[in-house]
Amino acid sequence: MIKLIDSHTHLNSHKLLPHLDDVIRESNKIGLISMLNVGYDFSTSLKGIEIASKYQNIYTSVGLHPNDIKGFNVKTLEDYKRLLEKPRVIAIGEVGLDYFRNPEHKNDQKKVMEFFIDLALQAQLPLILHIRDAYNECYDMLNSFNELPRIIFHCFSGNKNDAKLALDYDSCISFAGNITYPKANLLRDTLSSIPLNRILLETDAPYLPPQSFRGKICQPSFILETYSTVAKLRKVSLESLSQTILDSYNKLFRGVA
């Protein structure tokens, strides 16, 4: 059986939590051997740690989504540091800049992102970045640091030039189910320009279900359609693609899968 990974999912979402055992069972059926459950605020980061403690093939991250930064303060951010002491926390994020949905809080987003970059460096963990309509600003921020953690550009939405600049960092670029949408030609062109060993795939569940599941709550087992679409696009076998992505995932997260 092929071995698949989901590099970014939200099992801690209220849309998936009530059915978690079923969600995990369905993911096992398609050969999904490892999932990274991603925190997007303090409570979901805590819940992710709890979930990862119960399921052998699930790891977790701690983060603060740029659209959830309202009311943040230094003490709130400092609380994240103690979460890194918990087992099965293998990444920082998601954090970043979202100028599409939250353009009025740009400075606060930058402050939070700076804190988590420093935290990722201290912890020597990869950093998961959510960037929307802010790639140039993101790169300006990253270039201001003398040292950076390994980076995952999650649910990439940039163009070929954005991707080329992203690859200048110690990074992987992750694509979600929207790569399967009929109108996503520019996104597929971007993916085609990236070396296969720098690509990760994700569901971003419960969001962005692949094309044949449109209208449904996305779950990790849907990722097989995304893998199949990318394999066809890049003219490689599903087995070859899945092994390349698994190798990149293990390199990034030090052999967790």
**Any idea where the domains of the chain sit in the sequence?**
4-252
- pLDDT, tens only, 133-182: 999 999 999 999 999 999 999 999 999 999 999 999 989 999 999 999 99
Highest mean pLDDT among 69-78, 101-110, 111-120: 111-120
User: Are residues 235 and 191 in contact, defined by beta-carbon separation less than 8 angstroms?
Assistant: no
* pLDDT at residue 77 is higher than 80: no
User: Are residues 167 and 173 in contact, defined by beta-carbon separation less than 8 angstroms?
Assistant: yes
Q: Distance (Å, rounded) from C-alpha 79 to C-alpha 206? A: 26
Cα atoms found within 13 Å of the Cα of residue 95, Cβ hemisphere only: 30
Residue scoring higher pLDDT (31 or 70):
31
pTM, two decimals, is 0.97
Beta strands in the chain (DSSP E): 4-9, 32-37, 58-62, 89-98, 127-132, 151-154, 171-175, 199-201
Predicted pLDDT at 156: 98
User: Are residues 191 and 146 in contact, defined by beta-carbon separation less than 8 angstroms?
Assistant: no
- pLDDT, tens only, 14-59: 999 999 999 999 999 999 999 999 999 999 999 999 999 999 999 9
Q: What is the mean pLDDT of the chain?
A: 96
Predicted pLDDT at 78: 81
Question: What integer is the mean pLDDT of 205-234?
Answer: 98
Residue 10: other Cβ atoms inside 10 A: 24
Q: Distance (Å, rounded) from C-alpha 225 to C-alpha 221? A: 9
Domain 4-252 falls in which CATH fold? Answer: TIM Barrel (3.20.20)
Predicted pLDDT at 48: 98
The token duo for 111 is 């402050």
Q: Is the Cα torsion angle 51, 37, 251, 79 positive or negative in sign?
A: negative
The token duo for 72 is 């943040």
DSSP string, 43-76: HHHHHHHHHHHH-TTEEEEE---GGG-TT--HHH
Distances in Å between the alpha carbon of 148 and those of 7, 119, 144, 170?
Answer: 20, 11, 10, 8
